[in-house]
């Protein structure tokens, strides 16, 4: 069983080596003459006003939380889908109850306006 | 595994990796040329006939450009981000089967590894790509990059949900997570002429998958993370030279993977009319697979040439309020129909 993963490890090593070798090769041929103005963050030629890692809108955080909940749901669905025939009607009803609870949660989230992006 | 087998696997992987990188390079040429013709322009014409050597010229240019590391970046994270993007984009290819099982010396020729969790492997590896973009945006110390990185992570995780849910319909039909088994299940035809591709029983799932895959690869009309006209170049504003090239390659490799996945899951993989002598019978499935993947790449460019970019609130609303309920509904209907048919 783990033997199937050996080619994947080889592939991973090669796929990592490719960018490393390219970067090292580029180092041999490319010029390098940095100076202070060139290294400043790009802001259309104007002096940067403030630090870039400031605060940002909380919407991104809400999306991340919702993602965790609904993605775990998807993970539960995968094994059920694969074993659908074996589990039969019992599995189907169980899963419909599970989905029903989630749909209630989805409607609640929708009604609360968490999916609105203003 | 014996050392000889490992050597054989190594040779096969090198060949597949080279083919993949060539396809990625020429996907750029294909897109530029096709887009140009759709807009009544010529596209690249100077480097080689029909600009066919353009990818090579681009590579040489990227290699010889100065590589700047702006002040105040987090050096380690700044360097790690393009690696994460590219390596995960390439790694997703490890489980994609290109043709029917063809064993030479106990080793399958047209696939690197036939995992029985192939679909899960692709989903997990491709979702790792979010880290590359988020870290690039955060470590660059540029406002454009940070905005691009944030937008991109939120967009990718939202649409990942839709992708996951839309695939479950196919899994219900097949009962396996192995990509090879999913394709084998699509052999034959309904009533003797209509191919048994999953797109027919799973049309809603296919639409959902296709839209979500375009959003997941950050392509137009969902290219908010880059949005040249407002964010300059989004998360890779501060990257230059080969590091920029790595993000670029990752994006096109993701496009190729998404096209392959759409082909395997919904378009019957390598199935198609097979005839003629033995050698032709062995090669035709590869041709059908390539043609189907090319069709999806064409679709990407076609959509890009046709549709304007979405607004960010429209994008999020579309993902959460339309695609997720659609995929869930498709899942429930599919399971009910299957249960009635099998009982």
- In sequence order, the β-bridge partners of residue B107 are B104
pLDDT band of residue A108 (cuts 50, 70, 90) is: very high
pLDDT at A1 exceeding the cut of 70: no
Give a yes or no: residue B273 inside a domain.
Answer: yes
Predicted pLDDT of residue B256: 92
How many angstroms separate the CA atoms of B188 and B274, rounded? 12
Which segment of B148-162, B202-216, B245-259, B319-333 scores lowest on mean pLDDT? Answer: B148-162
Question: Does B238 sit within 8 Å of A10, measured CB to CB?
Answer: no
Q: Which residue of A has its CA nearest to B5?
A: A7
What's the whole-model pTM score?
A: 0.90
Mean pLDDT of B296-305: 91
Residues in chain B with CB shorter than 8 Å from the CB of A110 are 321
Residues in chain B with CB shorter than 8 Å from the CB of A23 are 242-243
Q: Which domain holds residue B293?
A: 74-342
Give a yes or no: residue B69 inside a domain.
Answer: no
Residues in chain A with CB shorter than 8 Å from the CB of B72 are 41
Q: Which of A110, A98, A100 is nearest to A72 (CA)?
A: A98
- In sequence order, the β-bridge partners of residue B194 are B190
Interface of A with B in 67-96 (CB under 8 A): 67, 70-71, 74, 77-78, 81-85, 88-89, 92, 95-96
At B15-34, the pLDDT tens digits run 888 999 999 999 999 999 99
Question: Does A11 sit within 8 Å of B112, measured CB to CB?
Answer: yes
Q: Which domain holds residue A80?
A: 3-112
Split into its structural domains, chain A has a count of: 1
- In sequence order, the β-bridge partners of residue B103 are B108
**CATH number reported for the structural domain that contains residue A57 in this entry:** 1.20.58.1610
Q: Is residue B275 within 8 Å of B11, Cβ to Cβ?
A: no
- DSSP strand pairing (B107-108 vs B189-190): unpaired
Give a yes or no: residue A82 inside a domain.
Answer: yes
What does pLDDT average to over chain B? 86
Give a yes or no: residue B138 inside a domain.
Answer: yes
Chain B contact present for A18, CB below 8 A: yes
pLDDT at B104 exceeding the cut of 80: no
DSSP at A48: P
Predicted pLDDT of residue B263: 92
Instruction: Give the up-direction half-sphere exposure of residue B326: CA atoms within 13 A in the CB hemisphere.
Output: 22
**Maximum CA pair distance of chain B?**
67
Residues in chain A with CB shorter than 8 Å from the CB of B256 are none
pLDDT at B35 exceeding the cut of 70: yes
Mean pLDDT of B156-182: 89
At A51-96, the pLDDT tens digits run 777 777 888 888 888 888 888 888 888 989 888 888 888 888 998 9
Residues in chain A: 118
At B177-210, the pLDDT tens digits run 888 888 888 887 777 777 888 888 889 999 999 9
| ipTM (interface pTM) | 0.86
How many angstroms separate the CA atoms of A5 and B135, rounded? 28
Predicted pLDDT of residue B227: 66
Give a yes or no: residue A117 inside a domain.
Answer: no
Q: Which of B31, B18, B78, B14 is nearest to B243 (CA)?
A: B78
Give a yes or no: residue B238 inside a domain.
Answer: yes
Mean pLDDT of B299-309: 90
pLDDT band of residue B1 (cuts 50, 70, 90) is: low
Give a yes or no: residue A118 inside a domain.
Answer: no
Chain B contact present for A60, CB below 8 A: yes
Give a yes or no: residue B107 inside a domain.
Answer: yes
Q: Which of A6, A60, A64 sits opposite B1 (nearest CB)?
A: A6
Question: Does B150 sit within 8 Å of A60, measured CB to CB?
Answer: yes
Give a yes or no: residue B24 inside a domain.
Answer: no
Mean pLDDT of B250-254: 90
pLDDT at B134 exceeding the cut of 70: yes
Give a yes or no: residue B33 inside a domain.
Answer: no
Split into its structural domains, chain B has a count of: 1
How many angstroms separate the CA atoms of A59 and B46, rounded? 47
3-state secondary structure chain B: CCHHHHHHHHHHHHHHHHHHHHHHHHHHHHHHHHHHHHCCCCCCCCCCHHHCCHHHHHHHHHHHCCCCCCCCCCHHHHHHHHHHHHHHHHHHHHHCCCCCCCEECCEECCCCCCCCCHHHHHHHHHHHHHHHHHHHHHHCCCHHHHHHHHHHHHHHHHHHHHHHHHHHHHHHHHCCCCHHHHHHCCCCEECCCEECCCCCCCHHHHHHHHHHHHHHCCCCCCCCCCCHHHHCCHHHCCCCHHHHHHHHHHHHHHHHHHHHHHHHHHCCCCCCCCCCCHHHHHHHHHHHHHHHHHHHHHHHHHHHHHCCCCCHHHHHHHHHHHHHHHHHHHHHHHHHHHHHHHC
Which of B339, B340, B341, B342 to substitute to test the interface with A, most A CBs within 10 Å?
B339
């Amino acid at each position: 069983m783990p033997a199937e993963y050996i080619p994947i490890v080889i592939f991973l090593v090669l796929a990592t080596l490719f960018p490393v070798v390219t970067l090292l090769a580029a180092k041999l041929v490319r010029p390098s003459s940095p100076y202070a103005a060139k290294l400043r963050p790009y802001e259309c030629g104007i002096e940067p006003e403030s630090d870039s890692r400031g605060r940002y809108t909380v919407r991104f955080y809400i999306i991340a939380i919702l993602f965790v909940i609904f993605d775990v749901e998807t993970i539960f669905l995968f094994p059920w889908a694969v074993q659908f025939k074996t589990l039969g009607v019992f599995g189907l009803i169980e899963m419909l109850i599970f989905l029903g609870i989630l749909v209630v949660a989805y409607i609640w989230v929708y009604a609360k306006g968490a999916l609105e992006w203003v | 595994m014996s050392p000889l087998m490992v050597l054989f696997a190594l040779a096969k992987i090198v060949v597949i990796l080279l083919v993949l990188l060539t396809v990625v390079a020429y996907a750029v040429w294909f897109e530029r040329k096709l887009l140009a013709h759709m807009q009544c322009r010529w596209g690249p014409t100077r480097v080689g006939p029909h600009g066919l050597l353009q990818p090579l010229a681009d590579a040489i240019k990227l290699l010889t450009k100065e590589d700047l590391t702006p002040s105040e970046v987090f050096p380690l994270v700044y360097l790690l981000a393009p690696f994460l993007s590219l390596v995960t984009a390439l790694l997703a290819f490890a489980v994609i089967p290109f043709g029917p099982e063809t064993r030479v010396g106990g080793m399958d020729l047209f696939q690197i590894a036939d995992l029985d969790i192939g679909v899960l492997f692709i989903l997990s590896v491709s979702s790792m790509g979010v880290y590359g973009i988020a870290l690039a945006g955060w470590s660059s110390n540029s406002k454009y990059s940070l905005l691009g990185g944030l937008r991109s992570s939120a967009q990718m995780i939202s649409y990942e949900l839709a992708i996951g849910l839309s695939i479950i319909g196919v899994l219900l039909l097949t009962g396996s997570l192995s990509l090879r088994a999913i394709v084998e299940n699509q052999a034959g035809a309904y009533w003797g002429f209509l191919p048994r591709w999953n797109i027919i029983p799973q049309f809603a799932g296919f639409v959902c998958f296709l839209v979500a895959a375009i959003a997941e690869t950050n392509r137009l009309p969902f290219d908010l993370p880059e949005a040249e006209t407002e964010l300059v170049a989004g998360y890779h504003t501060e990257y230059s030279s080969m590091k920029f090239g790595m993000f670029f390659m990752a994006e096109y490799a993701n496009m190729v993977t998404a096209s392959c996945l759409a082909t395997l899951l919904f378009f019957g993989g390598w199935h198609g009319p097979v005839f003629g002598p033995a050698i032709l019978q062995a090669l035709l499935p590869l041709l059908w697979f390539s043609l189907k993947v090319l069709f999806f790449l064409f679709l990407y460019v076609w959509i890009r040439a046709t549709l304007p970019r979405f607004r960010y609130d429209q994008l999020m609303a579309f993902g959460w309020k339309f695609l997720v309920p659609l995929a869930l509904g498709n899942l429930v209907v599919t399971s009910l129909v299957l249960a009635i048919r099998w009982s």
